[in-house]
């Protein structure tokens, strides 16, 4: 399995139809496998889809993850389901293909049997990078989950996959490209509404950081 550590996508790589300046391109792309539990958190998912659309990361999941989402999202309030499905629909090319071999290998990377499919998607993502190293030069892989404890983070880290919760990943994004993240906030609408949605989904540190910076910039 190829490691992605130390690996920004080449500057001629254009994705999602967004234009990115040289500083952002030099940072490198974050390739992110999104756990089912995150797909079901409307506030967090909407935030990360904004970053995806702005060019700050690439969100991916597998058909097995999507099937689990379909089976569980109906337990959430109707408004939450609508918001989550709308956010997911904004990324029509999100699916990664997972092989049987990757599913088998992933069993050793998840401490919870229900999350083997998530680890398998991460292995599939690594395989895509290995198959086209020139395209993905500089990319770094992240497994985004509420359930960090369900994964063998050391083993995944050795392969080049960082396992992060939503608040940790948002802080990583802010540390790498704060300007891009802040540009996704619409100052004509109430920024406090976005921050409240983030806080309600447990993203307290990143929401506090963004609020401080938005106030300093006169956007709140």
How confident is the model over 124-143, as pLDDT tens digits?
Answer: 999 998 988 888 888 899 99
Q: What is the pLDDT of residues 144-191, one digit of tens each?
A: 999 999 999 999 999 999 999 999 999 999 999 899 999 888 777 777
The rounded mean pLDDT for the chain is 85
Q: Which domains does the chain have, with CATH numbers?
A: 22-187 (3.40.50.11490)
Q: Under 8 Å CB-to-CB from 94, ≥6 apart: which residues?
A: 59, 60, 61, 88
Flag the least confident range among 101-105, 109-113, 135-139, 213-217: 135-139
Q: Would you state the structure tokens that stand for residue 7, as one six-digit string?
A: 């690996």
3-7, 53-57, 67-71, 75-79: least confident range: 3-7
CA 16 – CA 216 distance, rounded (Å): 30
Q: Which pair of structure tokens corresponds to residue 203?
A: 């993203």
3-state DSSP assignment of residue 62: strand
Find which of 79-83, 119-123, 213-217 is predicted with most confidence, using mean pLDDT.
Answer: 119-123
Is the pLDDT reported for residue 31 higher than 70? yes
Strands (E), the chain: 30-34, 58-62, 95-96, 140-144, 161-164
According to DSSP, the β-strands at 140-144 and 161-164 are parallel
What are the percentages of helix, strand and coil residues in the chain, rounded to 5?
Answer: 55, 10, 35
Strands (E), 22-154: 30-34, 58-62, 95-96, 140-144
Angle at CA 132, nearest 5°, toward 94 and 103?
A: 55
Query: What mean pLDDT comes out for the span 184-203?
Result: 83
């Amino acid at each position: 399995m190829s490691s992605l550590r130390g690996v920004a996508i080449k500057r001629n790589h254009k994705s999602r139809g967004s234009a990115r300046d040289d500083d952002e391109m030099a940072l490198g792309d974050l390739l992110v496998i999104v756990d089912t539990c995150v797909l079901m958190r409307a506030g967090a998912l909407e935030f990360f889809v904004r970053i995806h659309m702005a060019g700050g990361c690439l969100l991916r999941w597998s058909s097995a993850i999507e099937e689990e989402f379909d089976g569980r999202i109906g337990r959430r309030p109707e408004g939450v389901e609508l918001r989550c499905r709308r956010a997911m629909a904004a990324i029509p090319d999100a699916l990664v293909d997972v092989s049987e071999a990757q599913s088998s290998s992933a069993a050793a990377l998840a401490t919870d049997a229900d999350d083997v499919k998530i680890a398998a998607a991460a292995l599939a993502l690594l395989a895509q990078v290995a198959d086209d190293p020139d395209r993905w030069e500089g990319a770094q892989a992240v497994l985004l989950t509420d359930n960090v404890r369900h994964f063998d983070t050391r083993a995944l880290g050795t392969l080049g996959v960082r396992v992060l919760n939503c608040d940790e990943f948002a802080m990583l994004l802010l540390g790498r490209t704060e300007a891009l993240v802040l540009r996704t906030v619409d100052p004509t609408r109430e920024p406090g509404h976005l921050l409240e949605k983030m806080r309600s989904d447990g993203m307290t540190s990143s929401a506090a950081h963004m609020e401080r910076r938005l106030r300093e910039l006169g956007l709140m």
